[in-house]
Amino acid sequence: MKRVYIITLLCCLLVIYIFGGNNYKKVKQEKGMKVVDVGFIYIGDESTPYTSNFINVEKYLATTYGNKVKIHAITNVTEGNEGVPLQHLVDEGCDIIFATSYGYQETVKEFAAKYPDIEFCQATGDNIKDEPVLDNYHTFMGHIYEGRYVCGVIAGMKLKELINDGVIAADQAKVGYVAPYPYAEVISGYTAFYMGVHSEVPQATMNVIYTNSWNNYNLEKKAASRLINNGCIIISQGSDTIGPALACETATVDHPVYHVGYNQSTVDVAPTSSLISCRINWQPYIVSAVDAVMRGHDIEADLAADINGNDAGAGFDQGWVEMLELNNNIATEGSDEVESKLIAGFENKSIEVFVGDFTGTDPLNSSDTISLTKPYKENEGSSAPSFHYVLDDVITIIE
CATH of domain 145-281+317-397: 3.40.50.2300
Question: Residue 20's pLDDT band (boundaries 50, 70, 90)?
Answer: very low
- The answer to whether the 35-141+282-314 and 145-281+317-397 domains have the same CATH topology is yes
Residue 26 has pLDDT above 80, yes or no: no
Contact predicate 51/75, CB 8 Å: yes
DSSP three-state, residue 274: strand
Residue 1 has pLDDT above 90, yes or no: no
How far apart are alpha carbons 207 and 173 in whole angstroms?
A: 11
pTM: 0.91
pLDDT tens readout for residues 271-316:
999 999 999 999 999 999 999 999 999 999 989 999 999 999 999 9
Kindly list the domain boundaries of the chain, sorted by start residue.
Answer: 35-141+282-314, 145-281+317-397
How far apart are alpha carbons 269 and 245 in whole angstroms?
A: 7
Taking residues 226-255, report their average pLDDT: 97
Name every residue whose Cβ is closer than 8 Å to that of residue 282 and which is 6 or more positions away in sequence.
Answer: 53, 54, 57, 123, 142
Taking residues 60-66, report their average pLDDT: 96
The upper half-sphere exposure of residue 95, i.e. CA atoms within 13 Å in the direction of its Cβ, equals 21
Q: Name the residue with higher pLDDT: 34 or 29.
A: 34
pLDDT tens readout for residues 192-231:
999 999 999 999 999 999 999 999 999 999 999 999 999 9
**In a 10 Å sphere around its CB, with 0-12 CB exposed, 13-18 middle and 19+ buried, how is residue 179 labelled?**
buried
| DSSP codes, 221-267 | HHHHHHHHHTT-SEEEESS-SSHHHHHHHT--SSS--EEEEESS--T
* Res 302: pLDDT: 84
Domain at 35-141+282-314, CATH homologous superfamily? Response regulator (3.40.50.2300)
Q: Taking phi first (over 0 means left), then psi (-120 to 50 degrees means alpha), and beta for anything else, what does residue 247 get?
A: alpha
Packing angle between helix 2-34 and helix 283-295, nearest 10 degrees? 170
* Res 33: pLDDT: 52
The 10 Å Cβ neighbour count of residue 311 is 23
